[in-house]
Structure 1
């Protein structure tokens, strides 16, 4: 572990106040990195407000569409991590006109700025939804079949990131499974988090479909995957794509509901027919385990149990407030 000082590597985290970012920022600071968070704080600053005075942390408020601000944020960076994006199925529909601007054009500006200012590492938060609807285990070598605008743009950006690899620039893309678990910038618009919230607060568990497969991973473990890439030798991660999830957490949505019902047995389970889910596949995470010796630490049950206890303790206040969702 390094001690935070002016000689420590500087990591710029775009979206550093978000669901993943607020966890990752803390891990980076704990490991001694200097961190510059760039965020528009669309959903508030509560994700990082308790660490805002940390001596190793610099906070910049700005939008990805502001080229000058993005360039300024990348100045003197040793590494750049791009988390910022418009996410969520409903979010894709609502903000369709600016989806391409943010998730590809502005993201490309971040990539170009990182290269221009001499960053040696670049880690891009992609999504496992690039695989679309496919049977069997999805390895990184599988042909992507994205079916939403969000996943198509993520794949396009992912390809641009990987193709930017040079002798001195080492990009990596992480295809992240559906997240769950507590974050300082909590989200309840994610499958497992939303189910346990509704079970505790409304005594109902709504299951849309139920047969579809969904790879899942705890947000803490996602942050650890980014750290594993940061700490790995450049030869191991340069130009590489990694699935980030858990082989043990490839689950059907009805199994998530069953687990939630086990913890809140008084909740009523309602199955609802809906349009076909645009995410239905299983994820192989053997590559990241083999190359980076990375394996998730959280189980789905432990995660849901923790969130249940926090809800019962009133830790989220009113958990249906808009600040707890991205859609």
Structure 2
């Protein structure tokens, strides 16, 4: 298939696109490239630098399916400029969906977020629970989901609500829990855990990439799917890291009330099986650092990098 991948140069896209190329797809990778461009050269890859708010609809010519990853990622970055967040993460998604439908594209895969549920007291958070998003980032994801589902009679709509992603990517992120805590252990010999009893669902970056490919291969699997296969307390993540790289764990008070266990039985029942774990991600981050492939740099922290861009603008 000929695929359009938006946000293709981001944390997930930089792992997903090479896998798509390996499986024989042709890819148009669209990204504003705020955080750089780390995709490999390939005869079946076209990289287009652009702002999804001002998308050139001619790029849809010949496209069979869209994987829409582009958004302002995570709560702090979304709150940095709420107007920009709504324009990129909600309005641009609505425009892309409309243009895709007009162009006759029949497949649309959307990367939403497990954070759309907000604070939940239920032991298992399933796709049927009410969405009560808290932040601008969460709210834009919910709105984008609803817009896309309104096109379900015109194209195959597949929505993924990923848990917190972990593991190594060419466009690394060190502001997600497992990666961040692992880097703290490596560089400081100490992990600082705020609260610690909050439960977070996790998914390895290779598995989220494989899930998008699974959906491409299974157009009958439509609708909304959670994707998080390890529900762990933050302090449990720290303990797993400390088992691999000796370090001190300091627990301090937290005002973050978010704690929930994502249930992903629906996507498991559809036939998808995860292959990697949080432990694998920890091991890979440590190995990448020891090989000197990875360093603790500002560009791997979205909020820091966006604030630096704003200062230099």
Q: TM-score, normalised by structure 1?
A: 0.90
> Structure 1, residues 90-149: CA drift from partner, whole Å, max 9, x if none?
212212231111111111111112112221100010000011111210111111121111
| Number of positions where the alignment pairs a residue of Structure 1 with one of Structure 2 | 302
Conserved? CA contact 1:76–1:117, under 8 Å: no
Conserved? CA contact 1:176–1:245, under 8 Å: yes
> Which residue, 94, 99, 113 being the options, matches 1:127?
113
Q: Aligned to 2:170, what secondary structure does the other structure show?
A: coil
- Give the equivalent residue in structure 2 for 1:94: 80
Q: Aligned to 1:222, what secondary structure does the other structure show?
A: helix
- Give the equivalent residue in structure 1 for 2:184: 198
Unpaired runs of 5+ residues, structure 2, are 304-313
Per-residue deviation, 1:153: 1.2
> Which residue, 203, 227, 234 being the options, matches 1:244?
227
What is the rounded CA distance, in whole Å, between the counterparts of 2:111 and 2:211 in structure 1?
11
Q: Aligned to 1:195, what secondary structure does the other structure show?
A: helix
Q: Aligned to 1:235, what secondary structure does the other structure show?
A: coil
Per-residue deviation, 1:184: 1.4
Q: Aligned to 1:12, what secondary structure does the other structure show?
A: strand
- Give the equivalent residue in structure 2 for 1:21: 13
Conserved? CA contact 2:75–2:138, under 8 Å: no
> Which residue, 147, 151, 160 being the options, matches 2:138?
151
What is the rounded CA distance, in whole Å, between the counterparts of 1:96 and 1:254 in structure 2?
31
- Give the equivalent residue in structure 1 for 2:209: 223
- Give the equivalent residue in structure 2 for 1:108: 94
Per-residue deviation, 1:264: 1.6
Per-residue deviation, 1:274: 2.7
What is the rounded CA distance, in whole Å, between the counterparts of 2:81 and 2:214 in structure 1?
33
- Give the equivalent residue in structure 2 for 1:288: 267
Conserved? CA contact 1:15–1:83, under 8 Å: yes
Q: Tell me if 1:78 matches 2:64.
A: yes
- Give the equivalent residue in structure 2 for 1:323: 299
Per-residue deviation, 1:280: 1.4
Conserved? CA contact 1:215–1:283, under 8 Å: yes
Conserved? CA contact 1:17–1:41, under 8 Å: yes
- Give the equivalent residue in structure 1 for 2:3: 11
What is the rounded CA distance, in whole Å, between the counterparts of 1:229 and 1:83 in structure 2?
14
Conserved? CA contact 1:38–1:61, under 8 Å: yes
Conserved? CA contact 1:131–1:281, under 8 Å: no
> Which residue, 251, 254, 263 being the options, matches 1:274?
254
Q: TM-score, normalised by structure 2?
A: 0.93
What is the rounded CA distance, in whole Å, between the counterparts of 2:27 and 2:78 in structure 1?
29
> Which residue, 119, 122, 147 being the options, matches 1:160?
147
Per-residue deviation, 1:269: 1.4
Conserved? CA contact 2:125–2:260, under 8 Å: yes
Q: Tell me if 1:140 matches 2:120.
A: no
Q: Aligned to 1:217, what secondary structure does the other structure show?
A: strand
Per-residue deviation, 1:235: 2.9
Q: Aligned to 2:158, what secondary structure does the other structure show?
A: strand
